[in-house]
Amino acid sequence: MTLRAYQAADAAGCLSVFDSNVPEYFARGERTDFQRFLDDQAMQCAYQVIEEQGRILACGGLSVDATGIAGFCWGMVLRSHHRQGLGRQLANARLQQALQHPDIKYIELSTSQHIQAFYERLGFAVTRVVPDGHGQGLDAVEMRLSMDDNRTALSCSTTSSAPDR
């Protein structure tokens, strides 16, 4: 498996990853937003993919703004490859990216109640829940990780990004 920077030619593979996670993790209506993101913003958000033999298995990015807040954006794993360590590998890669920016104070994300526990295990804390915020039955769970409080721990715990087997 290879973790690498997103290229425009990866769009169809990333959309397939998205489609594999509908309707349990993403609402159908979010596909247009994701496609627009891939077309217009993925390169600026250090979007990455994990691929194996040319097939995209996971994707996700890290946006960084001038105020010291970064955001995990559009992270997902191909449904048939859930619970194989790819989500952790992708999250660790994005945490490592964030560590390269000493001005980042926080990483924020919005996920659903189905993925909340995964990010809590990485140290993120819930800041707000919006019922049905991502679509019918998909609450928007907003979460935050303080880099200042966790920088040393993160640099130690994310040094290996190999998938669990």
Q: Looking at residue 159, what is its pLDDT?
A: 43
CB within 8 Å of 165: residues ≥ 6 apart: 84, 85
3-class state of residue 52 by DSSP: strand
CA angle 3, 160, 107 (to 5 degrees): 75
Model pTM? 0.85
Round the average pLDDT of the chain to a whole number and report it: 89
N-terminal to C-terminal alpha carbon distance within the chain: 12
pLDDT of res. 158: 47
Calculate the dihedral angle through the C-alpha atoms of 146, 93, 120, 70, rounding to the nearest 10 degrees: 40
Tens of pLDDT, residues 79-105: 999 999 999 999 999 999 998 888 899
Q: Which two tokens stand for residue 76?
A: 């997902």
Cα distance between residue 50 and residue 42, in whole Å: 15
Span 4-33, pLDDT tens digits:
999 999 999 999 999 999 999 999 999 999
Separation of alpha carbons 8 and 151, rounded Å: 32
Helix axes 11-20, 30-40, angle to 10 degrees: 160
Q: Is the pLDDT of residue 154 over 60?
A: no
Structure tokens at 134: 């991502």
